[in-house]
């Protein structure tokens, strides 16, 4: 059997014959290649490349000793599967964290040095205490206070009001949170102990993370 790369398979349009094969599998599956060939008045050998393409593209399921089963009817289902299988843990970036007593001035410097727009504020052992965004810092910066003496804990959004995500969560659900709550970043967290309210920061998902995954998906589908 010759294999076509998935990239090619995903973007091709189905031929009339491939559509017929799918219709037969949908109606009568599981059905063997021989039986499909008979119905179409073709030889098994003629059909082989079509069956290979449909199987690799995810339209058909080939079960050994059982036959072909219809698995999906359009590329939307493939796209849906691709989107749903992406997990936060596979895309998360390294979190940039500061302590609660860090000054607003040092937080601004950290944002520039680390090239991020959101900082996570943590207690001992990386336990999440707050989130500081660009705007939080700008707000204090336009005041008259001495930025060297104000701790970030004064301006941060604090627990329990922080929207977080779990490493096992789908990247799609994380992206939805960014949109729904109108924020730029989510800390990726895990419970320090089973059932504990203390959450350890283990990563970061931002709008950049989502954009990267989006572009990756696009190039994978050969857009």
Task: List residues near ligand ADP by CB under 6 A.
Answer: 117-118, 131, 133-136, 157, 161-163, 182-186
Closest separation in Å from C-beta 129 to ligand ADP: 12
Select 10 or 91, whichever has its Cβ closest to ligand ADP: 91
Closest separation in Å from C-beta 96 to ligand ADP: 13
Select 12 or 179, whichever has its Cβ closest to ligand ADP: 179
Select 54 or 137, whichever has its Cβ closest to ligand ADP: 137
Alpha helices in 104-206 (DSSP H): 104-114, 134-141, 171-180
Residues 6+ apart with CB under 8 A from 112: none
Q: Dihedral angle at the C-alpha atoms of 129, 197, 96, 176, nearest 10 degrees?
A: -110
Alpha helices in 57-200 (DSSP H): 75-85, 88-91, 104-114, 134-141, 171-180
Closest separation in Å from C-beta 100 to ligand ADP: 14
Q: What CA–CA distances, in Å, run from 156 to 80, 104, 198?
A: 37, 10, 17
Question: Looking at beta carbons, which residue is closest to ligand ADP?
Answer: 135
Give yes or no for a contact between 95 and 119, defined as CB atoms under 8 angstroms apart.
no
Select 81 or 135, whichever has its Cβ closest to ligand ADP: 135
Closest separation in Å from C-beta 133 to ligand ADP: 3
């Amino acid at each position: 059997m010759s294999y076509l790369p998935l990239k090619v398979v995903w973007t091709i349009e189905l031929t009339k014959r491939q559509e017929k094969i799918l219709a037969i599998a949908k109606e009568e599956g599981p059905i063997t290649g021989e039986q499909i060939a008979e119905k179409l008045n073709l030889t098994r050998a003629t059909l082989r490349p079509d069956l290979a393409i449909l199987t690799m593209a995810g339209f058909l399921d080939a079960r050994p000793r059982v036959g072909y089963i219809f698995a999906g009817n359009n590329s939307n289902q493939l796209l849906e599967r691709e989107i749903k299988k992406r997990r936060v843990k596979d895309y998360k970036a390294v979190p940039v964290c500061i302590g609660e007593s860090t000054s607003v001035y040092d937080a601004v410097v950290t944002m520039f040095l680390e090239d991020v727009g959101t900082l996570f504020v943590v207690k001992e052992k990386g336990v999440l205490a707050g989130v500081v965004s660009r705007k939080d810092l700008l707000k204090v910066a336009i005041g008259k206070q001495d930025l060297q003496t104000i701790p970030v804990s004064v301006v941060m959004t604090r627990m329990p009001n922080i929207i977080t995500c779990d490493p096992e969560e789908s990247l799609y659900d994380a992206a939805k949170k960014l949109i729904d709550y109108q924020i730029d970043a989510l800390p990726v967290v895990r419970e320090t102990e089973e059932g504990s309210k203390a959450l350890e920061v283990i990563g970061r998902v931002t709008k950049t993370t989502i954009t990267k995954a989006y572009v990756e998906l696009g190039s994978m589908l050969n857009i």
